[in-house]
Each structure stands twice: as structure tokens, then as C-alpha cells.
Amino acid sequence: MLPRVNSYKTLVDQFQWSIPRNYNMAWDICDKWVEEESRVALLYETKDGEVARYTFKDIHLLSNRLANVFATLGLAVRDRVGILLPQRPEVGISHLATYRSGAIAVPLFTLFGQDALRYRLKDSGAKIVVTDSVGANSIASIRDELPDLRTVINIDGASDGAEDFYALLERGSDSFKTVHTAAEDPALIIYTSGTTGDPKGALLPHRTMIGHMPGVEFSHDFLGQQGDLIWSPADWAWIGGLVDVLFAAWQLGVPVIARRFEKFDPDQALYLMERFAVRNVFMPPTALRMMRNISSKKFTGLNLRSLASGGESLGAELQDWSKNTLGIFINEFYGQTECNMTVSGCSSLYALKQGAIGRAAPGHLVAVIDHEGNEKPHGESGMIAVAAPNPVMFLGYWNNDPATQDKFIGRWLITGDTGSIDEEGYITFVGRDDDVITSAGYRIGPGPIEDCLTAHPSVQMAAVIGKPDDARTEIVKAFVVLREGYESSEALRDELKDWVKNRLSKHEYPREVEFLLDLPKTNTGKIIRRLLRN
């Protein structure tokens, strides 16, 4: 854990990584807590409202049993295991069993269609998949196209082509000797969707768990304090929900709430946080904007100590709402699957600066560079990059060396985002390289305009792109989803244009506004501006 100090500079200057040569994630996020037999790891609420309680010892024994099952099925070191499940205990159990076996976990999102599953399972060469009945049915229809897949294990019981998860566990021993792994050995493949081409599998080593921790602790104002209890609506197939919440909490011995709503409902989320007296939450900005629609009078029963958000631009309006309604600041964090949690706010340690996403977390050197790898002066816009080597950094893209090479300029891993850094180290996010709008010589980021639009009482969500224009190269175009009770009209369109023109800038206002019923989003809730551009 990070030491509690009163100065960001002191903490950063004194910080040193301690990465053992031999290291396995299963020990760090579970086994070291087993002797404290009553220490709770997980509270799992079913759709029916029933709550099951798991200690670290429970998780340890169950994952040992599953690791023994994997061994009888012929799973070898560095073989891949697909995990296709929503938020529930079997996710953690399956991951731990995979790491104990020296194998590589491949988390898969439950809303993936057959094409997405086929690509990831075939590309990774997964030999085993742990799933439920829904997933088993989906895999059954593409099984003939997956020559490497030997066994499907169904947590809901045996089905056509799938074996019974709990029946197999009954035959497994409670004891398992974890395979010897080095910190550099691969542990996890998480597929990320780029702007073009097929998804790329980011291959993460065991050490990435250690690399995540400073940024996670920062984003929750030093997570791991007495009474901490964390929940997130983020799916455990993605790095934000899996590593930044479930694994990071377990690394610190903090219990986690498992409850994934089929569709995010702000009222249900509020009720859950009140009922369990949740202390720590990671919630993407899109979900926070939905929470903002709830009357402020309903938030009086919360027990929140920290609120972290990331994955897309947060904006000043949400920060003001959180401070006024929840009584806490939102610690915005930044990273990506290939190199995560490198930047974060930490409101208990230093003041958050409006428009900035935070400062580099201890142990990470983050810079803004040009296309030759030279650091840009303070305040100038450029490519946000992270210096290698770095414990949190990926090993490369699975089966894709050219894409790995393209990810680096010299010693810098380039994130694909643009931004700037001021003299105090605060980093301002401008946008994705392909999201930056060039209009009449100005470079315009979509984030501030979207933030401004969502501050209007009629706007629920907004996305901004650059539309090709002969005279200006591009013009700013906004796509807007209205709140309930508002209807699209020419008058409202003009009002929104003036709203941005008057509140933000005369050169940044949207010259076109289009009303939509919804915005295209990734499975993790990020707006897909590429589809809007198309």
C-alpha cells in the first residue's frame, strides 16, 4: 500500500517499485489472506435479491479445486482459458484457477455475438471455456469453427456439449500446488477494439497486477482503509471492472460487491449502494450522467468515501454535481488496457484542477510527445505517452507483432490520445488522435463541447465530431440525446448552438446539431464517434 503522506511530490519522489522475480497473481490477490479465515472477499447478490458471502479461504479452496479440474482436462502452462460470465463468484474462481495453472485467462463479454466470440476464441486458441447456459448455447453454434477448443464448462449444469462446473468441482481436491511463474510470464489476454481492423489481444503479465496498484489506490483516495467496500457496474470482462476493481480490491484485502445489472439502472444502483453501505465506487461517466437524473434528495442514505471514474472525458459539470449532491470529488483516472492506471486524481492528497484528468500516479513517467518522441513544452498539445519499462505495461499484442511495434516511439508507449501537461504535472486530455477536430486552423477537442452541451437542462448525452467542410476543413457537429420531457425542434437546435457559443467559445460551437434517440457505444459504454463520423 502507498504510505499516507501529505505531499504528492514527497510520495512520488520516495516511491520505488518492488517487483519480485517470481510472482503469481493468485497468491497476491487471494492466498496471502487465507489465514484470516473470516476475511470477506465477495458479497454476491443474485437477481432475486439473495446474498451469498465468500471469504478469501472459500475462494482459495474453490479455485484450487478448479485448477485440479483443469489439470485433469490436460490444461498446460500458457494454454488459454476463456471466461464468459457476468459479475458472479465463478469469474474470480476461474481466473485464480487459471493463474495457479500457469495458464492465460481470456475474459469475454457476455453480450458478445457469435462473430465476436468466434474471433477471440479462435485467435487466442482457447482450449477451455467457463461459461453459463447462455454462453454455452452461443459457443455450441460455432464450436465446429474452433479447432483448439476442447472443453466447455457450464456453471448452470451439464448441457449439450458442455460439462457441469460444480459436478467437476466435487471431484477436485482442495489442495493444489501453484505452478512456478515469473513476474514477466503472461497471465491475461484482454481484447481491445481499435478504430480500424480486428480487435487486438493485449497480453498482460503477472506483474501488471502490481503495476496497477498505485493508480487504483490514488483513484480511491488510498483504497484499503478500514471499512472499505467496493462496487462497480463495470463488467468483469473489461480491465476496468476486472483488474481495477475486483483484483485490486482483493490485493488489498477489501471485499467486493458482485451485482451486474443486465441494463444499468440508476435507481437500482442507488438502492444497492445504500443497502450494502458501499464505501467505494468506480462508475464510468456515462453511468454518472444517468445518476445525475435522480433527484438529489434521494442520495442522503449513501455512505460513499471515494468515487472514481474513467474511460472517457468526465467534464466539470459532473464534478460539480458530485460535490454538491454526493459531498465528494470524483477522482478521474486515465489509462488503457495496454498500460492502465498511469494517471489519476487523488482529492485527499492534492487539489483537483478543472479540466485536468489528474497527475501521473507514483512509479509512472507520463509525458506529452511529438511524432519523433521528443517531449513537448508545458502547455503544448501532443501525444500522451508512458515511458517503458513499466510494471503495468503489456507484453505486446497476441499474434500481432506489427501492431506492437506501432504502439511505441522509442522508449515511449503512445496511448493514441492527445493532451497537454502543465508546470505542476496536471494532464489535460484533448481527445483521441482521430477525434480531434481541425476547423479554420483551430484544433478542437470534443470533450469540452460535450461537457458544455450536457450542462444544458434538455441534454442527457452528447457526442461531438468533425464533419468535412470545404471552407473550414471540418466543422463541429453535435449529436444530442434529449432528456425525458423535451422534444427536438429548430428552436432548441439554435438554443444549443448559442449555449455553447456563449458558455464555451465562439469558434467551438456546433454548426450542426442532430437529435438521436441513443448514441452508439462500445460494450464498456464509450461513445463510438467513428460510427457517427460514418
Q: For the chain, what are the domain ranges?
A: 1-17+217-432, 24-43+53-181, 434-533
Reported confidence tier of residue 451, pLDDT bands at 50, 70, 90: confident
The set of cell numbers assigned to 107 is 475474459
Q: Choose the weakest-confidence range: 107-121, 184-198, 353-367, 501-515.
A: 184-198
The answer to whether residues 83 and 110 touch, using CB atoms and an 8 Å cutoff, is no
pTM for the structure as a whole: 0.86
> Given a cut of 80, is residue 527 above it in pLDDT?
yes
Three cell numbers written together for 116: 465476436
**CB of 511 closer than 8 Å to CB of 477:** yes
Specify the pLDDT at position 195: 44
Its CATH architecture, for the domain 24-43+53-181, is 3-Layer(aba) Sandwich (3.40)
User: Of all residues in the chain, what percent carry a pLDDT higher than 90?
Assistant: 78
pLDDT tens, residue by residue, 68-101: 999 999 999 999 999 999 999 999 999 999 999 9
Q: What angle do CA 143, 70, 244 make, to 5 degrees?
A: 90
Return the SS3 of 10: helix
Q: Taking all residues of the chain, what is their mean pLDDT, rounded to a whole number?
A: 93
Tell me: the pLDDT tens digits for 370-402? Answer: 999 999 999 999 999 999 999 999 999 999 999
Q: How confident is the model at residue 221 (pLDDT cuts 50, 70, 90)?
A: very high
CATH of domain 434-533: 3.30.300.30
Cβ-contact 309, 285 below 8 angstroms: yes
Domains 1-17+217-432 and 434-533 share a fold: no
* 1-17+217-432, CATH topology level: Rossmann fold (3.40.50)
Dist CA 102 CA 148 (whole Å): 18
284-307 per-position pLDDT tens digit: 887 898 898 898 889 999 999 999
Quick: pLDDT tens for 120-179.
999 999 999 999 999 999 999 999 999 999 999 999 999 989 999 999 999 999 999 999
Provide the pLDDT for residue 193. Answer: 66
Q: Are strands 382-387 and 412-421 parallel, antiparallel or unpaired?
A: antiparallel
At 47, the pLDDT band (50, 70, 90 cuts) reads: confident
3-state secondary structure of 195: coil
